[in-house]
Amino acid sequence: MSGSPARHIAIDLGASGGRVALGAVEEGRLSFDIVHRFPNRAVPLGASLYWNILELWREIRHGLRIASGRGPVASIGVTTWGVDYALFDADMLAIGMVHSHRDRRTDGVIDRLDEIMSRADLYQATGVQFLPINTLPQLLAAQRASPDLFSRATRFLMLPDLIHYWLCGVMACEHTNASTTQLYDPVQRDWSNVVLTAFGIPRAMFPDLVEPGTILGPLLPAIAADTGLAGTLVIAPATHDTASAIAAVPAEAGEDWAYISSGTWCLAGIERPLPLITDATRDANITNEQGIAGTTRLLKNTSGLFILQECLRAWGDPPIEAILQDATTLRSDIAIDPTEPDFAHPGVTMPDRILRWCAARAIVLDPTPAVITRAVLRGLAASVAASLAAIDQVANHQTRRIHIVGGGSRIDLLCQAIADCTNATVIAGPVEATTAGNLLVQAASLGVIAPGAIRTVMRATADLRCFIPKTR
């Protein structure tokens, strides 16, 4: 209908599920409906763990058809988690399947990086914390399994870039996702020739980099015909899901704030105008990732709700609300360490692993779901508190308010525990921050809102809750 606000589609793929949302900005507020949700779970095959990327593509197209039934759509953008990728040969045929970053193929690889490049030099070149899930260790593990890999691979695409390519035929990598790879120079804002050369990875297979909000082009004719979205543009938002989530943090300008993006992974940090790459940040294993408008997300990445999700799966996927209610009434102060390597891999043995971890430390933990859940959430709170304390110290920052977004923001027990552990006020919401950030970057790209108005729109839109430290 003439005069209706421009509408946008956000495709958001998370490590436990995906969604297709249709939204618009009107009178300074964002509204959106999630028109299609679908599960996502890595698939074990032999000793490996893969993403079922073709099934995700099928679900995305189904969601686009649903959205098109509600009228014209101005643009589409994709966000996913970071670090994972796909490789293609000269005929754009896939080389292997898409591995999950939780695949054990990277076991031990990170400890051998300094045989090629010292940790000091690698950190100086990339500013990225050392984690086995990073793209660099993944590529080295892939080459170890297939020594001629880099002679066969001519194209490298991160997962949102792959979906964008299938939508519009344009190959490009957006900065926020590229910055998660440990192959990117956050100072020069380009692929790191120093790192690629040192590890023998061909620069030619990496696509050009684009800014968040770049219009890639119209949908391919076949996709437009299949989905009913003729005339719709494909826009690269902040394609890393955390970058989109932080773009949507409803913070006030100038406040001493930090963020926690709480989902399958938990990322805690602050926003800065420039990277901070020092011996202190390296020693604290702090990472520099790109945000919108050239900002830097200075953060630490630790295990998040994945541990609890795996516990729920082991318990037969019961409703979590009753478990959380029971966990809240307990008085136990037991907290597990979510950074324990044994908690990093999927499997229905997660509750048993937690109990073994406690037993090895002479901690008596009742095996009931409520007790284990409370121990997991208290451990997550302590972990993010330690991350923020380390970041405050190296960045000469004092966190007074913490904005928590994502799925964890709806868990009162977690939010209150974070407030207590940090002695900072916790502002919870929005839950669907990644989707909101994706939609708002698209809206800004098309001139619907000013680029600097994203957080203003979110403050007018989000339903926020406040948690005060009990120590005050």
Residue 92's CB is within 10 A of a number of other CB atoms, namely 11
Residues 6+ apart with CB under 8 A from 116: 198, 199
Kindly state the tokens that stand for 140: 């080295």
The 3-state DSSP class for residue 219 equals coil
Catalytic hit among 241, 256, 342, 463: 241
The amino acid at residue 100 is S
Are the C-beta atoms of 463 and 430 separated by less than 8 Å? yes
Nearest of 20, 25, 19 to residue 7 by alpha carbon: 25
CA torsion angle 366 368 371 372 (round to 10): 100
What is the C-alpha to C-alpha distance for residues 452 and 379, in angstroms, rounded to an integer? 36
Kindly state the tokens that stand for 210: 């684009």
Give the angle subtended at the CA of 357 by the CAs of 356 and 359, to the nearest 5°.
60
241 assigned to active site: yes
What is the C-alpha to C-alpha distance for residues 56 and 166, in angstroms, rounded to an integer? 12
Beta strands at 296-303 and 401-405: parallel, antiparallel or unpaired: unpaired
* Cα R_g (the chain), whole angstroms: 21
Give the angle subtended at the CA of 14 by the CAs of 8 and 16, to the nearest 5°.
135
In sequence order, the β-bridge partners of residue 235 are 215
| Residue linked to tokens 């970053």 | 101
**Residues with a known catalytic role:** 241
